Amino acid sequence: MSEKPLLLDTDRRFRDIVIESAGKEVFNCYQCNKCSAGCPVAFAMDLLPHQVIRSVLFGKKEKVMSSGTIWLCASCETCTTRCPNEIDIAQVMDVLRQLHYESGHETPQPKILYCTLLFSTVLKKPAGSMNLAWSETFQSKAAISRKSSKKVPGKTILNWQLRCFYGESLSFFPHGSKGVKDVRTLFNQAQEHKKV
Amino acid sequence: MKVSFFPGCSLEGTAREYGESIEEVCSSLGIELEELKDWTCCGASSAHCTNEFLSIALPARNLACAEKLESGPDHSLRSLLQPSESCGRSIDL
């Protein structure tokens, strides 16, 4: 199968949504590769950060949305700091992730996506953040076994939990906060603020 | 000197040793830490990936807590210490 001609595959609306949130500086990219050269997770990416920026400018929605790069990005902002044109590349990645999440596209990195979603679920629980790692393992086990063919053995998870507990990297009691109610309200309000 | 303090989730969880060293260092420098009342997770590393509104609202809620502390009886609480990198990023925005 031959690739589509360059201009037939462009989605200007997609490009405009990204630029609107991430700033007009994105147009200034001259492909110097400084972002990709500094990126600590570039080794695992199928599309390097500077290629993502170029694809966004060309409106290559499918190419960007189907790459694992947007979910592999660790939001460390090394790229943003290094960019000579002051493009907020980490913000571009954020916007792309938001668009990807709303569109429900498939991703080559499903575990990172599930982990992010689980984190948001745990935030709304009355125990707040402290039980995070505990509940996260429990739930990620459920999520991974439900959505992917690769199952995590229960024994592995138990070992991991015991190690955390005895290594004292987890507290026994959760951090109780009266703010959880507010957080839940904010999450409800967030439903009304979608991108598309 | 007294500053308000936003520990963030990881400083009491997986990065507990970091939290303990922060407290130790501050006490030897004579900095008194006043923890924010009713702080919640700022959603760093997760909320900003899925929703722009949450990426602003969750940290803003914590900033409001800090402001409340500042306008309280103790007017010396003008600065906020926020040692966790990801939380810092989201609150900065």
Over the stretch A7-56, which tens digit does the pLDDT of each residue have? 667 888 899 999 998 889 999 999 999 999 999 999 999 999 999 999 99
* pLDDT tens-digit map of A128-168: 444 555 555 555 555 555 555 455 566 666 666 666 666 66
- Closest partner CB to A180 (pick from B9, B17, B40): B40
Average pLDDT of span B45-71: 86
Please state the three-class secondary structure of B20-47 as a single string. HHHHHHHHHCCCEEEECCCCCCCCCCCH
In sequence order, what are the residues at sequence separation of 6 or more whose Cβ sits closer than 8 angstroms to the Cβ of residue A21? A91, A94, A95, A195, B52
Distance CA A32, CA B10 (A): 36
- B66 vs A145: CA distance, rounded Å: 41
pLDDT winner (highest mean) among A101-105, B24-28, B83-87: B24-28
Distances (CA, A) of B30 to A47, A87, A183, B1, B33: 48, 40, 34, 7, 10
Say whether pLDDT at A185 is over 80: yes
Q: Tell me the ipTM for this assembly.
A: 0.81
Which chain A residue lies closest to B51 (C-alpha atoms)?
Answer: A98
Please report residues of B whose CB lies closer than 8 A to that of A169.
Answer: 13-17
Contact criterion met (CB < 8 Å) for B61 and A183: yes
CA A4/CA A133 separation, integer angstroms: 45
Q: Residue B73: pLDDT above 80?
A: no
Which of 55-114 (A) contact B at CB < 8 A?
71, 75, 77, 94-95, 97-98, 101
A186 → closest Cβ in B13, B45, B61: B61
- Identify the three-state secondary structure at position B81: strand
A157 near B CB under 8 A = no
Check residue A80 and give its pLDDT: 93
More confident residue, B11 or A20: A20
Q: What is the mean pLDDT of chain A?
A: 79
- Which chain B residues are Cβ-neighbours of A120 within 8 angstroms? 43, 46-47, 50, 54
Q: Rounded to the nearest 10 degrees, how much is the dihedral formed by the CA atoms of B39, B50, A135, A143? A: 170
Q: Which of A94-103, A111-120, A155-164, B68-77 has the lowest mean pLDDT?
A: A155-164
Structure tokens at B46: 């997760």
